[in-house]
Structure 1
């Protein structure tokens, strides 16, 4: 599903060069639920951005679904992101002036032909039902709790029925009860077939996934298969 080969990422300015990732080789199979851990500044979010085609490597190759995408043009990358990848962010990134259902519809606005008008609305309703927020469709983000906002963000991520969900600290701004609620939703999505990659600082949350990747100073230093609790 996702393959990274000999990935290196360097950020350069006129005065300084920062090596963010070095010699990353990683394969993620369809249906896996992966967590990525490491200290702040170790490259976790950079790695997630490369997987999500939001950034490009300085060296190496990125494959999504068997396609080598490293040399894709911006328009091709945007189309692939929109159809195959859903993003969940720690800070929700909801638009306060839009209702919940309008926020969820946003990714579908960039599609042509197969998701227009009433179809978009129905897909948004279905996504909100999956996260248990069908009774909040007409509310605005300012009327929601933190946990509810994150559920809206998850609905927005899955509305286009992506194969891959990338989550950057999805429980980081929530208390433990709300964090567990979000993890339950992610586990249900994974059980439904979604491949999920989650960056987290929370060891307890990480242990609820299938596999734990550890980074340190931009290098992959650990790759552990975790005990499955659903067998």
Structure 2
């Protein structure tokens, strides 16, 4: 499902060159739930951004569902990313002026779906995360855990094959964190492939496999 071969990422300025990822080789099978751990600045989020086609590698091969995508142009990447990938971020990235259900509908605006279809899919996604009774609320009226559940609903509304989660429990207390990991496990049990960056050993232990990074390099 996800395959990286000899992937490197180098950030350059006029005076500094930083090797963010060094010779990463990764193979995530369909239906796996994989966690990525490592100290701050070790390249975890960079790796997730490259898998999610939000950033391009400086070197190496990326395959998603058998397609080599590292050389795709933006016009080809955008529809592939919208169809295949769902993103969950630590800081939620909800739009405060939009209701919960309007936030969840956002990824569908880039597809050829009707307003009625968007609303039905958004309602279904919110039901999956237990927020059917908060559809008309606004983000400022929600707790942190509820905001993250809205973010998960937004990530799954388009029924992506792959969910990428960057510290999804990082801003939550342990009780809310457990709720979120329970939802992710349920999504995984229903077929989603999940790659999750986390700093929490307890959360990582609830996934199928752990990948550790240190200074941009896999720790074997």
Structure 2: tracts of 5 or more residues without a match: none
Supply the distance in 2 between the matched residues of 1:36 and 1:116 (Cα, whole angstroms): 37
Supply the distance in 2 between the matched residues of 1:198 and 1:154 (Cα, whole angstroms): 13
2:151 counterpart SS class: helix
Q: Report how many residues are paired.
A: 220
Supply the distance in 2 between the matched residues of 1:152 and 1:69 (Cα, whole angstroms): 29
Deviation at 1:116, TM superposition (A): 1.7
Deviation at 1:75, TM superposition (A): 1.1
1:5 alignment partner in structure 2: 5
Supply the distance in 2 between the matched residues of 1:174 and 1:24 (Cα, whole angstroms): 30
Alignment of 1:21-32 (within 5 A): 21-32=21-32
Alignment of 1:1-231 (within 5 A): 1-112=1-112, 115-222=113-220
Supply the distance in 2 between the matched residues of 1:218 and 1:145 (Cα, whole angstroms): 34
Query: After TM superposition, which residue ranges in structure 1, 4 or more long, deviate above 3 angstroms?
Result: none
Supply the distance in 1 between the matched residues of 2:76 and 2:122 (Cα, whole angstroms): 24
1:121 counterpart SS class: helix
1:229 alignment partner in structure 2: none
What are the Cα deviations for residues 164-210 of structure 1, in whole angstroms up to 9, with x where unaligned?
Answer: 00000000000000000000000000000000000000000000000
Supply the distance in 2 between the matched residues of 1:166 and 1:75 (Cα, whole angstroms): 21
Deviation at 1:60, TM superposition (A): 0.3
1:227 alignment partner in structure 2: none
Cα-Cα RMSD: 0.4
Deviation at 1:118, TM superposition (A): 0.1
TM-score normalized by the length of structure 2: 0.99
1:56 counterpart SS class: coil
1:228 alignment partner in structure 2: none
2:4 counterpart SS class: strand
1:21 counterpart SS class: strand
